Structure 1
């Protein structure tokens, strides 16, 4: 059975990411930077995904290019080690969660973007 998170719209979770980092005195630009780094979207592409209300499945399916360094993202999110998640879509969603989490925790951008 498919996980219900796959059907959530990117537009519904994006503001939650922004709120999370802004509570920690970080910015929406930093959220955009890490999401663009991960997915290859540019700002216009992110805006289009939000305006079109695409679900997370479509958001990642249409991503211009997943960053080859995404596999360097490790750690625990929602009680699971991201590097051990078997479903590729769930893993990509959790990579995005993890990057936003690292922004909120105040990590340096060079570290978050895995040195690229």
Structure 2
């Protein structure tokens, strides 16, 4: 039997993402990925910090559900974020990412799928 997760509490505080910037061209999942990576590597987003809800990210970046979920999947595969075990729709910054030089991401390539080694 699958364990059901609890609903996301309304009082949960999340990180502040910059969202889509019209000067950066058309909305893209790559911009979301790059914003989260840069926030982690710069220390702006602390390990354990929570991302906004998927619906809020969709609004901020003018992206569809599939694009936001694709960006989240990429960030999970890179171990930048993890899915919360107890609550629905909660992703948090993985505290291991960015701690050593092996996890430095090539910032000139926003579509980079894996950290550089």
Q: Same fold (TM over 0.5)?
A: no
Bigger fraction of residues in helix: 1
TM-score of the pair, normalised by structure 1: 0.30
- Please say which structure displays the higher CA radius of gyration: 2
